[in-house]
Amino acid sequence: MIHASIRQFAAWVLAVLASVLLASTAHAQPAPPEAGFIGSENIPVTLHADGAPVAGKEWLLALRFVPKGPEWHGYWSNPGDAGSGMVLALNLPPDWEVGAARYPVPKRLIIAGLMNHVYEGPHTVLVPVIPGPSAATFGPGPVTGVVDYLACTDEICIPQSASLTAQAGGDFARWRAEVAPLIDARASFAITGKTLRIGIPLPASVGLSDPHAFVANKRLVAYSAAQTFRRVGDMLVAEIPLDEFGDAKADAVSGILAFGDGAGVRFAAALGTVPTGGEVIAGAKAPVIPPLWTLILGALAGGLLLNIMPCVFPILSLKALSLARASESESKARAEGLAYTAGVVLACVGLGALLLALRAAGEQIGWAFQLQEPGVVVALLVLAAAITANFAGLFELPSLSVSGGGKPAGAFATGLLAAFVATPCTGPFMAAALGAALLLPVPQALLLFALLGLGLALPFLLLGFVPALRRMLPKPGAWMERFRRIMAIPMGLTALALVWLTVQLGGRTFGLIALVLVIGVLIALWVVGRLQRGGKMAWPAFGLIAAPFLAVAVIALPSVYEAKVAAPKESIHHPQTFSRDALAKARASGKPVFLWFTADWCVTCKVNESTSIERDAVRAAFEEAGVVVMVGDWTVRDPVITTFLTEQGAAGVPLYLWYAPGAATPQQLPQVLTPDLLEARAAAAPGTP
């Protein structure tokens, strides 16, 4: 969260500086590069003229931009959240009129949560000119001018400035075809509450795989917000959230409507009536929230099923020992059951409240957001290592000792840890309840989070209050100490898994320093155990030994942190990396699309991948049906994926979507997959032999 804020602030500062620099040269006269221009070597530009000018007739000039490499991109007239548009000054007679520049359909580029409207690769901007009467005596001299613009990569932006001299000729037929044409009919717009609604006349026969409205008005709409599109006959209605900090007023609205396959049209909208209703064909559909009683049952059932989900296995050792000890006495069993339940419910409500608060503050996060923070994972790693050492008999900690004493404090701490570790994965019933919780009023949302915790704690609570169930458990005895030591194995494996996750989140050096911290804590706990067995004061020694390791970690970990870079996932399917543009192209291909969202910390995701997705039979079935496979990695926070998950009514991962050819909306597959289910989907795809 801190890193994202820094990136956004840096991008904003850079955009402001670039805008000031470009504005300062907006009316500069042409001059050779040696006169102080920054240069245009990153995205060279040339000026072309379409024949000779004729008075009163439109004459086209073309600015041809050709980036020197695929990493460079330029900007549309409205660059979005960051960047700067082109500023052009031409030396023309005063009676000539220069019209608004005409652009191709831009692309969406999101960096650190900022939406940019960009052009990647060669692109051409057409500038219409209406020559005045002086055209007859204009003379043979070419048109000259100066253009200022911005060239950027994902990491750096460099202002560009070029002195122009028009060349005769150019591929104007192709350049005209590349520019978004102006739609014939007049569009209308209205501002309703916090939403801009634009009605664009567009025949229902026009295909829209992934529409997006690029609004030319600056500081009017929230660029990165999800847009909703409705079809009302031959009218397309775009609904776009307004910029919370912008100007919510406009006399006219213009822009480009992108169809999703690189094509699009320009529109100019006047203030007027925009149709309501209609069928949602793209974007964030108005969610249908089930009745509250079904959500309550779903939260309870989802929490109950978490007890058998793979992501809960690391804490089964804690619960197993607590359950065995619960049969000692009636009062102890009830006290432990209540304490454990209180810990689980408190953790679930706390996580839920924090999630809702952060989302209300504008953070794009979802369920299990805590495991997307490297610092939290390091803390969990240290905790898992300490519990492993406790199970192995290295030291004793009564408040967390699950094999002795039977104190409610231990059960409460176990409940806190159980919920914190168990809740990252979502299972059946739970997904719908959590998705609705993000949309409901805060009191109802917190009720669902509390019921989720109650469902998770329910087996232990029943054992505490139903003697018949407790009598089915083994009697306490010496075997419990041996069992505790055996349970150190799964907890140790959990710690090793967290070491791997730490490396995935922050890099090898980050993981190495975290491991050094764990070793230091274990050394301190070993000393504590020695002192405890000798009957001496132990915990001051722990502070003296662990403090230097902790201090080094606090200083070193932030400095060596390396954010995970998105990379193609290793898979037998060779999937594409998820983006909205990639998904739109895949759907436009007419082939079925299987899209799955995963994370390195989601055990359910990994189990599904190993047992169902990464299977030779599934790969063969997908290849035969021509299925396009795409994956979104949510290991680290990604606002694009978070927004997409929210649009699908999902609060976390795993999420599996199947897009049938031509279908307007995807079908959500179960969160527990089977190979047969995926093979059957592929076999039922149209055109499959």
Number of domains in the chain: 4
The answer to whether 406 and 332 are in contact (CB under 8 A) is yes
Q: How far, CA to CA in Å, does 237 sit from each of 213, 222, 273, 687?
A: 10, 17, 11, 33
The answer to whether 486 and 336 are in contact (CB under 8 A) is no
Q: What are the structure tokens assigned to 128, written together?
A: 């219409």
Q: Does residue 307 share a domain with residue 264?
A: no
User: Is residue 238 classed as helix, strand or coil in its secondary structure?
Assistant: strand
The answer to whether 150 and 76 are in contact (CB under 8 A) is no
Q: Does residue 168 share a domain with residue 49?
A: yes
What's the pLDDT score for residue 491? 81
What's the pLDDT score for residue 120? 93
Which strand ranges, in their side-by-side order, compose the sheet holding 235-241? 212-215, 252-258, 264-271, 187-192, 195-201, 235-241, 228-232, 279-282
Task: Indicate the residue type of 134.
Answer: S
Neighbours of 35 (CB within 10 A): 10
- Sorted by sequence, the CB contacts under 8 Å of residue 554 that are 6+ apart come out as none
Which among 282, 306, 324 is the end of a domain? Answer: 282
User: Has residue 163 been placed in a domain?
Assistant: yes
User: Has residue 532 been placed in a domain?
Assistant: no
- Sorted by sequence, the CB contacts under 8 Å of residue 428 that are 6+ apart come out as 301, 302, 305, 670, 671, 672
Q: Does residue 363 share a domain with residue 304?
A: yes
The C-alpha R_g of the chain, in whole angstroms, comes to: 31
Domain of 263, CATH number, reads 2.60.40
User: Has residue 226 been placed in a domain?
Assistant: yes
What's the pLDDT score for residue 185? 85
User: Has residue 536 been placed in a domain?
Assistant: no
Q: Does residue 272 share a domain with residue 318?
A: no
Is the pTM above the cut of 0.95?
A: no
What's the pLDDT score for residue 16? 38
d(CA 439, CA 239): 19
What's the pLDDT score for residue 9? 37
Task: Indicate the residue type of 468.
Answer: A
What's the pLDDT score for residue 553? 92
Q: Does residue 341 share a domain with residue 219?
A: no
- Mean pLDDT in runs of 10 for the chain (689 residues)? 39 38 35 46 94 92 95 95 92 93 94 87 96 81 90 90 91 94 91 90 86 94 88 90 82 93 92 83 64 85 75 55 60 84 91 82 68 86 87 74 58 79 62 72 88 89 82 71 81 85 90 95 93 87 92 92 74 89 85 92 83 93 94 86 80 88 82 88 78
Domain of 136, CATH number, reads 2.60.40.1250
Helices and strands of the chain, counted as H and E runs: 19, 24
Which among 434, 451, 484 is the end of a domain? Answer: 484
d(CA 569, CA 674): 21
The answer to whether 449 and 437 are in contact (CB under 8 A) is yes
Nearest residue to 52 via CA among 147, 129, 164: 129
Phi, psi of 80 (to 5 degrees): 100, -145
User: Has residue 506 been placed in a domain?
Assistant: no
User: Has residue 459 been placed in a domain?
Assistant: yes
User: Has residue 145 been placed in a domain?
Assistant: yes
Q: Does residue 14 share a domain with residue 144?
A: yes
d(CA 655, CA 664): 18
What's the pLDDT score for residue 124? 97
Domain of 594, CATH number, reads 3.40.30.10
User: Is residue 251 classed as helix, strand or coil in its secondary structure?
Assistant: coil
d(CA 283, CA 589): 19
Phi-psi label, residue 290: left if phi above 0, alpha if psi -120 to 50, beta otherwise = beta
- Sorted by sequence, the CB contacts under 8 Å of residue 37 that are 6+ apart come out as 31, 161, 162, 163
CA 564 to chain centre: 14
- Sorted by sequence, the CB contacts under 8 Å of residue 682 that are 6+ apart come out as 592, 618, 621, 622, 624, 625, 627, 688
Length of the chain: 689
Q: Does residue 95 share a domain with residue 44?
A: yes
Neighbours of 495 (CB within 10 A): 22
The answer to whether 306 and 433 are in contact (CB under 8 A) is no
Helix (H) or strand (E) holding 200, with range, is strand 195-201
Nearest residue to 152 via CA among 178, 126, 116: 116
Q: How far, CA to CA in Å, does 330 sit from each of 145, 370, 398, 406, 463?
A: 90, 37, 21, 12, 10
User: How do 667-668 and 655-659 pair as beta strands?
Assistant: antiparallel
Phi, psi of 108 (to 5 degrees): -95, 130
DSSP 483: H
Alpha helix segments (H runs only) across 466-593: 467-470, 479-486, 488-506, 508-533, 539-560, 580-588
Q: Does residue 333 share a domain with residue 249?
A: no
Host domain of residue 267: 187-282
* Angle at 294 (CA atoms; ends 291, 299), nearest 5 degrees: 125
Q: Does residue 307 share a domain with residue 247?
A: no
Which among 484, 508, 525 is the end of a domain? Answer: 484
- Sorted by sequence, the CB contacts under 8 Å of residue 649 that are 6+ apart come out as 287, 432, 435, 436
Is the previous residue joined to 654 through a cis bond, with omega within 30 degrees of 0? Answer: yes
Q: Does residue 218 share a domain with residue 99?
A: no
Phi, psi of 82 (to 5 degrees): -145, 165
Nearest residue to 501 via CA among 595, 564, 440: 564
Q: Does residue 150 share a domain with residue 111?
A: yes
The answer to whether 637 and 364 are in contact (CB under 8 A) is yes
Nearest residue to 306 via CA among 438, 462, 432, 428: 428
User: Has residue 414 been placed in a domain?
Assistant: yes
Q: Does residue 145 share a domain with residue 23?
A: yes
Concatenated DSSP letters for 389-411? HHHTTS---TTT-SSSS--HHHH
The 3-state secondary structure of 638-687, one letter per residue: CHHHHHHHHHCCCCCCCEEEEECCCCCCCEECCCCCCHHHHHHHHHCCCC
User: Is residue 60 classed as helix, strand or coil in its secondary structure?
Assistant: strand
